[in-house]
Amino acid sequence: MPILLDLFLTFAKVGLFTFGGGYAMIALIEDACVSKKAWITHDDMMNVTVIAESTPGPIAINCATFVGYKQKGLPGATAATLGIVLPSFLIIFLISSFLDNFLEIAWIANAFKGIRIAVGLLILDAGLKMVKKMPKKKLPRTIMISSFVLMLTVNVLSLHLSTIVVMLAAGIVSLMIFIGTKPAAPGKGGSGQ
């Protein structure tokens, strides 16, 4: 199959089965692009997750553009992005044209109750896979556990705290620690900037 068509179809499939926001999609993209197609590595996936979370827009679009561009430049990025958008575009277009009471259709509501459970598990799975491949050092572990406890508390008590603020804090702490400990090792560095 030509690569552009492959990108388009693969991301259309991801788009069709992504419910409940971007984190669930990480499990689907990891399965499709890392395990099955080997288009990107787990490391790339981790990087794109970080980039997607620190730039505006839906994570799905960010990931599709990233993988598509890596495979085939601008045409690849376009094919993958169109692929991930098309299923939801068609579905919402049909719903808004023909269905006034979509949420009252019983079998759809019931199916979605089931899907919601799967989505929770997929997000958990994406997180656990990342933990397994995380460097086993004190600093990353401390940051991971702190943000986990903090965000769980925020969710449970439905407080308002943007993930962007939490990420900003983690980035700054890590940068400060790096700057604070750097001068001790003059052997390396100098090639920065």
Partner 1 sequence: MIYFDLLLGFLKVGFFAFGGAYGAIPLIRDVVLSYGWMDEEMLAYMIAVSESTPGPIMVNLATYVGNTQAGLPGAILATLAVVMPSFIIILLVMAVLKAALKNPYVQAVLRGLKPCIIGIILATGLYMVLHNCLGSVRNVQADAMAVILTVILAAVYFIPAKMKKKGLSPVMLIGISAVLGMLVYGF
| Window 146 to 165, contacts with partner 1 (CB under 8 A) | 146-152, 155-158, 162-164
Q: Which residue in the set 8, 49, 71, 76 belongs to the binding site for partner 1 (CB under 8 A)?
A: 49
9 is an interface residue for partner 1 by CB under 8 A: no
Q: Which residue in the set 3, 4, 69, 75 belongs to the binding site for partner 1 (CB under 8 A)?
A: 69
Interactions with partner 1, residue window 15-44 (CB under 8 A):
15-23, 26-28, 31
Sequence-distant contacts of 117-125: CB under 8 A, at least 24 apart: 119/19, 119/20, 119/24, 122/24, 122/27, 122/28, 123/20, 123/23, 123/24, 123/26, 123/27, 125/27
Q: Which residue in the set 40, 45, 59, 79 belongs to the binding site for partner 1 (CB under 8 A)?
A: 59
186 is an interface residue for partner 1 by CB under 8 A: no
Q: Which residue in the set 5, 9, 41, 96 belongs to the binding site for partner 1 (CB under 8 A)?
A: 96
Sequence-distant contacts of 43-48: CB under 8 A, at least 24 apart: 44/70, 46/130, 46/133
